[in-house]
Amino acid sequence: MRMAGKWVFILTLTLGMMLPSWLMGTKVEAAEEDGLSDLIIFENVPQADETMEGNEFTLSALNVYEDGHFTKVNEGLVWKSENSNVATVEDDGTVTFTGQPGRAWVTVSNGDFEDRIALDFKPDRSTKGKPNFKPTIKKQDGDRYDLVQHALTNMTMEEKVGQMLMPDFRKWEGENVTEMLPEIEEMVQKYHLGGVILFRENVVTTEQTAKLVFDYQAASEKYGLLMTIDQEGGIVTRLQSGTDMPGNMALGATRSEEIAENVGSVIGAELESLGINMNFAPVMDVNNNPDNPVIGVRSFGENPELVGKMGVAYTKGLQQHGVAATAKHFPGHGDTATDSHLGLPEVPYDLERLKEVELYPFQQAMGAGIDAIMTAHITFPKIDDTKVISQKDGTEIALPATLSKKVLTGLMREEMNYDGVVVTDALNMKAIADHFGPVDAVIRAINAGTDIALMPVGLEEVAAGVYEAVESGEIPMATIEDSVERILTLKLNRGIIKEETPQPIDEKIAEAEKVVGSEAHKAVEKEAAERSITLVKNDGVLPLDASGDEQVVVIGDRFIGDLADAVSAHHSNTTLISTDKSELTAEQKQTVAEADKVIFGTYTYNVYSRSANHPQMQLMQDVMESTDTEVIGVGIRNPYDVMAYPGVDAYIAQYGFRDASFEATAATIFGANNPTGQLPVTIPGTDGGVLFEYGTGLSY
């Protein structure tokens, strides 16, 4: 709009890296001010992303201390613009461009120290035709802004090692940890921890989760904690009060990068509102092995290009909210038939094949600026044929990728040119814990190129062992400092900085409760679920008539009540038969005989549970053989379920057991949702052929 002869821009600017709405920490004691060595504008720091998308934004100031740490400060400051014709600045650092071309210098002072930054409003020469004017930040140069090097120079060895340790406090003395305990606070400080991972047991309600995360950050003495979680969506969903987004394979079935980005954005917004600043997602494994017991529907699919595109879109959504994203499990856990939680899998392929399939999505993620990569506890003998002796039974085994310098440094760092943070998968998993001692595993991981040791077994023993290894030279100090540099760089990139005067927890909780599980987020969940539903087979059975008097029977075992509830919402004349037996009782057979339509929901998670001799599949065959009515199969989790009953009259793949997916399946059965999902995987036949091709998907 035009006002008093000037164009006034009323636009909201979002810094590309988006500082969280509160930066973690506790109020610094007054005595600490004696160690204050500088005051700088955060946006001058090299790691701060200065990308702008509008004409109004807020600058931040940091106190820098002699011992290397830095904190966000927002009190006792004077902000001033030296050219208010171009840009004005408020008392809280909020800058507004007026629309007048030129450069403004904004300064901040606390009476002892001062810093300034250049703000330009000039033509964008990168576009053809009449140039558009755009605001940009011009960082200042100088050693004073190298906060990472300043910290490394002044940190103790123990502080550096602490940044690399990320334990879980899932339980304490057998009880779920849902609030800060004095013993945990002491461990955070004693070991100078750089981060903590949360699990479903820890994140029960929005209020409780926000308070727990707040208290963790308060316990951190100098550097903000990486507060991490596995909020993938689908079957791996930790937040108990959050929006239960469909998982990756469901997103892959939509074939929509927009939906993947929207889902990532919702997850990012909910985590950010709670103070959780890092997500161990997305899974970027290529699930080209139907027998995979641990990845499966956690993957976007079997096609490397699809996995790459969807993973990058999901990552973009997460990182829009300042939440660090993590691609996992490098170099690829998709083509395995062993769960690394339980054993040590092997991927036997050479580098050329890995580049075409397993490594392709990770390379795409790296190119798109993924914050972190999580390693896989898998052996890749064609990449590293190093043999070690297992502590479990004394046998000779191949070295897992998590502990392999050839994989993490040679392949990831040097050949694929990745310079971000590398975090191990959980070190308490049997693939590592069975074969390597707790201290030995962490030392090997660090020397291989890992930056963060996730869930080491026995924090006290591991910390002491790493200290000793550094002091003896077994782990070079340069290796430690390289890792800490990457960790602190990530924290600065994502605004994970202690705040001298944090936002009051009551305000934080109130804001989080508006975000977590909001109606807008539920709408994204609903759309993603509906677009994912894949009608794989339909011999003229579907859709059913919701208004008719037909008797519908829903049969199954796990999660079958959820499916029946969703069906009943569309068709009241619905009967549930819930059983884990391989045969129906006489009474149940009578119910099925009287049914007009049968819906059978199967739930599988490994090869045995979808095999012909599993009780639920025997029951399915019994039902199909004992009734003349049409049977509709629903693969509740794995699309591969239809391999056990290919003769079914209709088959729907829904890829997960969250409410929105059941509701979308029921809506599809009764024609309220026209299915558009496409199989992200090939369904093989039991004879070695193909039962249903990749991309199969019917509509009405």
> pLDDT of 378-436, one tens digit each?
888 889 989 999 888 898 888 999 999 999 999 999 999 999 999 999 999 887 888 89
Q: What is the mean pLDDT of residues 77-100?
A: 95
Answer yes or no: is pLDDT of 3 > 90.
no
Catalytic residue, candidates 341, 440, 596, 622:
341
Answer yes or no: is pLDDT of 82 > 90.
yes
pLDDT for the residue 15: 36
Q: What is the mean pLDDT of residues 362-372?
A: 97
Contact (CB, 8 A) for 463 and 191:
yes
Please state which of the ranges 52-61, 210-219, 471-480 shows the lowest mean pLDDT. Answer: 52-61
Paired strand residues for 117: 106
Phi, psi of 694 (to 5 degrees): -55, 130
DSSP 247: -
pLDDT for the residue 26: 44
Residue 341 bears catalytic tag: yes
Catalytic residue, candidates 38, 115, 425, 649:
425
Respond yes or no on whether the N-terminal peptide bond of residue 329 is cis (omega within 30° of 0): yes
Give all domains of the chain, ordered by start, each with its CATH number.
2-148 (2.60.40.1080), 159-515 (3.20.20.300), 533-692 (3.40.50.1700)
Distance between CA atoms of residues 292 and 299, nearest Å: 11
Distance between CA atoms of residues 482 and 491, nearest Å: 15
Per-residue pLDDT band at 2 (split at 50, 70, 90) = very low
Distance between CA atoms of residues 192 and 680, nearest Å: 44
The region that residue 655 occupies, defined by phi over 0 for left and psi between -120 and 50 for alpha, beta otherwise, is: left
- What mean pLDDT is reported for the chain? 91
Answer yes or no: is pLDDT of 135 > 60.
yes
Residue 150 bears catalytic tag: no
CA dihedral sign, ordered 274, 276, 279, 280 = negative
Distance between CA atoms of residues 184 and 265, nearest Å: 31
The C-alpha angle with vertex 568 and arms to 692 and 570, in degrees rounded to 5, equals: 75
Rounded-to-5 percentages of helix, strand, coil across the chain = 35, 20, 45
Residue 146 CB neighbour total at 10 angstroms: 15
pLDDT for the residue 54: 79
What is the tally of helices (H) and strands (E) in the chain?
20, 32
pLDDT for the residue 429: 87
pLDDT for the residue 127: 66
Q: What type of residue sits at position 583?
A: E
pLDDT for the residue 378: 87
Per-residue pLDDT of 572-629, as tens digits, reads: 999 999 999 999 999 999 999 999 999 999 999 988 898 989 999 999 999 999 899 9
Q: Tell me the three state secondary structure of residue 552.
A: strand
Distance between CA atoms of residues 552 and 567, nearest Å: 9
Q: What is the mean pLDDT of residues 201-219?
A: 97
pLDDT for the residue 18: 41
DSSP 38: E
pLDDT for the residue 33: 52
Distance between CA atoms of residues 546 and 571, nearest Å: 5
Radius of gyration of the chain (CA): 28
% of the chain residues with pLDDT over 90: 81
pLDDT for the residue 340: 56
Contact (CB, 8 A) for 36 and 63:
yes
Q: What is the mean pLDDT of residues 213-232?
A: 96
Per-residue pLDDT of 19-56, as tens digits, reads: 443 344 444 444 345 699 999 999 999 999 877 777 88
Answer yes or no: is pLDDT of 675 > 60.
yes
Q: What is the mean pLDDT of residues 684-692?
A: 91
DSSP string for residues in 298-321:
GSS-S-HHHHHHHHHHHHHHHHTT
Which of 57, 134, 139 minimizes the C-alpha distance to 99? 134
The region that residue 486 occupies, defined by phi over 0 for left and psi between -120 and 50 for alpha, beta otherwise, is: alpha
Contact (CB, 8 A) for 403 and 440:
no
pLDDT for the residue 391: 86
Determine if the pTM surpasses 0.85: yes
Per-residue pLDDT of 141-175, as tens digits, reads: 999 999 999 999 999 999 999 999 999 999 999 99
pLDDT for the residue 432: 87
DSSP string for residues in 523-534:
HHHHHHHHHH-E
Buried/exposed 523-532: b ≥16 CB within 10 Å, e otherwise: ebbbbbbbbb
Answer yes or no: is pLDDT of 129 > 80.
no
Please state which of the ranges 197-211, 367-381, 520-534 shows the lowest mean pLDDT. Answer: 367-381
